[in-house]
Structure 1
């Protein structure tokens, strides 16, 4: 076999020659089988191998050539989208410890300014972080979190300049703007101050697997090497987090896996000794928050759709024996989240495929926050202080821009704090609906749809269908300034709430992961076929889009139902399932044995192998495809899509274009900056529209 990076088999789209990566013999061995992986050589954990970089650069050059005819359309789409952004926008200020905090963008800026004002929103501005200035000269820049000390004088923030989510914790004096000498590398965002204003607790990552492993305490002015170990998680199937309770009384360390959780807390005045809320137990998850003299606990203990329980400080004994029901479990209501206040609790619930909010007062009165649309997204907003009757929340739908409200839980009065400005957009010109699609096994799949008013359901339209369906993550319908450009060109946008999410409760998730994962893929395909049969779209004008685990979805449907799609867009796709899950050194692998399966188990190995997109590429016609990745992605390594594209090029029997774009300075979320993602979106949207024959 040749050892150069690639050969050129001949002319491709637009006369460009498609690079075909060299094949090199390699065996992926495991206790349950050995597989050939002729493109394994594309993996280079250092990201420096010249042969590998040459292969990626060849693909980028080919992408440039193939996409060159769409450049004018890309520019048009980008201008349309940016034209819908109020460039000098700012967030709704929220109050905390006497200050009003917010972020704002200056016109043309890629990054925000985070700031505050003391006492009132008209007081002089204090700039905390001018991220636009901080990002100058950096190919990638991200602030993962920032937090102010209890005495309001110091700022701690987590900064990433690579895109691999290995943040550096930094500090500054707010009044002078002077940075402190303290810097702590390789941390997770979300540091927490202790009440002494000099001790900071943070989560340290494993430098190889990037797993959150240890909680340490740093005292300002001392070397990081002297930081005290507060907690260490030995089980690599658990994620680790750190936060303060709503009443600010406790600092809590929480660990969670797909099927279990455990939480320990310490007084914020002296965060030296952690006390466990309840011990971990397989198939029992919980999270607790403190208000007044009691803990509020959300748990699935004997409650698949979760319930809220409570226990007073006096009866809290490190077990679940003293917990009592506050909100019992219901078969048709899934409790997703909650926020305690002094006089009430705000609860995020899912029912009928939508997330709604309700409040429960300490006296037992329950009230729902209403909506007038069939499909919507309603979520808790920032509620930093619990001693208020006002609940702040956001509302959006596929036609309604995000709107921030606050409602008085005592009087019922509602105030609109902000409607996200979208210049040139008229919500009355668009229609959203919710349909229920029968799956092949009888399940009913909710689908949120949006199109422009005047749309005719005559089976001629082009359609973009989006899906995810993993980790229990629910995809709620919200207006997108990018989607508007598609709707204005007569397209339909469909959001398929397939199994693997939790839109219909925990069972909806359970029926779409592990040994039922294929349900996610067949649900998506069944939605496509139903929408085509019911004349929402033409059979030969359907595009599909998914990213990360949604990219796995794209890879699976490409193999299973290629004739149902004209074009597929797979962003940072998780497509080499078995090889990744065999390698415990890869970030996320050990955390996700209960999501996908542990291939050390023969049944799990065989099941994952049956649907893994990379392993099931075969000689057949595939749709036109756009595949994107980031070289520094830590969530889905770049070499997964690189290998997948190489195998597709060598195997597929069609002449449909296959474009592979690698952002050489990006991570899992793409390049940084608020405008860059719209440039990326314009590129793949122009490719899609061209393939669908949509008027420009």
Structure 2
């Protein structure tokens, strides 16, 4: 394939130095990694930084010709965003909480208003839209906090039960190592103490002065200890409430639905464990049921009992069980909602008169309402491909359940449904200036994999699109961790559709769209299914006329970047361009190093390469290890210097080795955000600059007209 810009003299890409380095497995296997030197945990090595900066300069040169398209795409995307927008308020302990944006500003303002007669979610939205902020109390103006910083994010905040003190956790480099800060909401004064090196997960006890938080290991960033801090005391003296010694587990903390208990969740890929203590006297935490290999569970407390979602006793797609107060083992559990082979139970919310259950069936989400009298029904939908789920339901004493809904043509929507009368209220539909959903069509398709499995595919295009096999297509995929990539609306995708492209999501194995087995069939020693599914979806869409065989782009990020690296090695001729963000491409080396954040937590996802069987299987697909002398498509590879989930050196090494082996003349660019982490740059608009740059590169490679 020849690039549209091939007639021009291309800039010269950087040539990274090779330095011999042997990576050894404990059982003796050895691999050469000539670019291992690009790893620098301190992010200060001059040679490494010089290489990344040279790659950025090369990217600037390659992408210069697309600058007008980048600007046009950015302007289009931002024009679809209502700048002075606000979230749907929710009521909690006598206040209505929401976040709002101001025109031209990148970050939200977190605020609340005191409840009173005539005040509800709709009236507050109307006041916000009218610029009437009388009675508003600003909790956090993130624009002010982010001033002068290249990166800034507030990960979580929590207000004391008496509504008087705010704790919040912020991150100023994107590495997801947060710092807790405190503010008195009555006086507005900040407390002097701060607590660094934590996860964004904060819970207050009933005494309004004791905060529970989760401390990270400074090297691996694993959540290792739950600690408590009493306002006004020295954080270095904070006692440890619970310490996790198994480095395959994550920790999280929460309050129960009825506010009676503080909860400590410990979870790994294949098991779970919960501890609880009275919120009014949280001195001792009791284990609800001891952890067991291959038994996952999570629980909540309401109405004098525990409700537990679990896969115990062969409930592959999960079931709901109950347990009385004082339960301490699985022997105390009683089945409530039975397991079904065709329905995955993903979550639940408990109310005074009913239970809302989030399920998945036939590859799509749905919500089941179970009433106390035994009646049950499902909330209706009317599109072939959509995404729906429980929204913020902060108060259980209500007949109204809030849920979110979106599709590839319908912007994000929040409804409230009265479970007694059936009345449905539209609380908010994301405003998208200039967008008319009637001009777009989405479909639900099923592609057949090479082993006969049926793969769901969601696709969207503009009306008038002809399936003649001539159009350009962007196909997205993820396929890991049981995370389902449900079809939702995107303000960025519209710019592609308006240029005649189709956009498809391949719901491949490794996700959980078709239940737990769909996930199990795409992990560990079944991981190759993820990659071949994606390729088979491409073949299907081309065969059905949705795309020209030489105008297909593929897109994935993080574990989806692993997918991109795998398909580039396995079927490079099927893709004109590959977009890969923060890609996990050096699987074996990373998984051999337990000091790298998140490695040990993921042995049950990828396998432990210290064991020869898993080592050899991972080696068979690891993108970095399978690069070889062949013609690769054009590629855009993005990363962040401070990424804590996929370290920057993985994509950097990958691109360096790819340059050595690639026999094509197609451009390969590596864009490193020197001040960002896994999620890219912070702020509402800056990330769209990144997206516009990547999409402009893609459009140029696909020979798609710049103008809409």
Partner of 1:675: 685
1:69 alignment partner in structure 2 = 65
Describe the superposition over 1:404-439 as per-residue Cα deviations: whole angstroms up to 9, x where unpaired. Answer: 000011111110000100000000000000001000
Please state if 1:538 is matched with 2:548: yes
The answer to whether 1:18 aligns with 2:13 is yes
Deviation per CA, 1:138-177, whole angstroms, max 9, x where unpaired?
0110000011000000100000001100000110011222
Q: Helix, strand or coil for the counterpart of 2:604?
A: coil
Q: Which shows bigger deviation, 651-660 or 322-331?
A: 322-331
Match of 1:394 in 2: 404
CA contact (8 A) 1:187 1:203 kept: yes
Of 602, 611, 626 in structure 2, the residue corresponding to residue 616 of structure 1 is: 626
SS of the counterpart of 1:21?
coil
2:616 match: secondary structure: helix
SS at match of 1:139: coil
C-alpha contact (below 8 Å) 1:105/1:113 kept by paired residues? yes
Q: Note the alpha carbon deviations across 1:204-232, whole angstroms, 9 max, x for none.
A: 00000000000001000000111111000
Cross-structure match for 1:3:
none
Matches within 5 A, 1:498-509: 498-509=508-519
2:77 corresponds to 1:81: yes
Paired residue secondary structure (1:181): coil
C-alpha offsets along residues 261-292 of structure 1, whole Å, 9 cap, x if unaligned?
Answer: 00000000011100111000000000000112
Distance in 2, matches of 1:13 and 1:512, equals: 43
What secondary structure, in the 3-state scheme, does the structure 1 residue paired with 2:312 have? coil
Deviation at 1:342, TM superposition (A): 1.5
CA contact (8 A) 1:14 1:65 kept: no
Q: Does residue 154 of the first structure (1) align with residue 149 of the second (2)? A: no
* 1:423 paired residue number: 433
Paired with 1:688 and 1:151, the residues of 2 have a C-alpha distance of: 53
Cα offset for 1:14? Answer: 4.6
Aligned match of 2:651 in 633, 637, 641? 641
SS in 2 for 1:298: strand
Unaligned runs of 5+ in 2: 1-5, 128-133
Partner of 2:131: none
Which whole-Å CA distance do the structure 2 matches of 1:101 and 1:14 have between them?
56
Task: Supply the distance in 2 between the matched residues of 1:686 and 1:171 (Cα, whole angstroms).
Answer: 43
SS of corresponding position for 2:352: coil
Instruction: Report Cα offsets for 1:20-58 as digits up to 9, x if no partner.
Output: 101111100112410000000000000000000000000
* Alignment pair present for 1:101 and 2:101: no
Q: Does 2:155 match 1:144? A: yes
Q: Distance in 2 between matches of 1:13 and 1:55?
A: 25
**Residue 340 of structure 2 corresponds to which residue in structure 1?**
330
Find the partner of 2:22 among 1, 24, 27: 27
Q: CA deviation at 1:12?
A: 11
> Which one of 349, 354, 357 corresponds to residue 359 of structure 2?
349
Q: State yes or no: 1:126 paired with 2:137.
A: yes
- SS at the partner of 2:62? helix
C-alpha change, 1:12 and 1:559, in structure 2 (3 Å) is farther
Cα-Cα RMSD = 1.0
Gaps of 5+ in 1: 1-10
Q: Which residue of 1 aligns with 2:275?
A: 264
| Partner SS for 2:105 | coil
The residue aligned with 2:524 is 514
1:537-564, CA deviations, whole angstroms, 9 ceiling, x for partnerless residues? 0000000000000000000000000000
Partner of residue 113, structure 1: 109
SS at match of 1:615: coil
Is the 1:556–1:611 Cα contact (8 Å) retained in structure 2?
A: yes
Match of residue 205 from structure 1: 216
Aligned pairs (5 A) from 1:681-696: 681-696=691-706
Contact 1:348–1:355 (8 Å) recurs in 2 = yes
Residue of structure 1 in register with 2:381 after alignment = 371
> What's the offset of the Cα at 1:322?
2.2
Give the structure 2 partner of residue 45 of structure 1. Answer: 41
Query: Secondary structure of 2:331's partner?
Result: coil
- 3-state DSSP of counterpart to 1:440: coil
Partner in structure 2 of residue 4 of structure 1: none
Counterpart of 2:625 in 1: which secondary structure?
helix
CA, structure 1 residues 252+14, in 2 after alignment: closer, same or farther (shift >3 Å)?
farther
Query: For 1:360, which of 357, 370, 385 is the aligned residue?
Result: 370
Large movers: runs of 4+ above 4 Å: 11-14
Structure 1 residue corresponding to 2:479, chosen from 456, 469, 472: 469
2:640 pairs with one of 612, 630, 634: 630
Answering whether residue 525 of structure 2 is matched by residue 529 of structure 1, we say no
Instruction: Give the corresponding residue for 1:599.
Output: 609
Match status 1:549 vs 2:544: no
Question: Offset at 1:616?
Answer: 0.3
Counterpart of 2:417 in 1: which secondary structure?
A: strand
The residue correspondences of 1:226-241 to structure 2 (distance < 5 A) are 226-241=237-252
Return the match for 1:308 from 312, 317, 320: 320
- Offset, 1:323: 1.3
Match in the other structure for 2:194 = 183
Q: CA deviation at 1:363?
A: 1.8
Secondary structure of the 1:92 match is coil
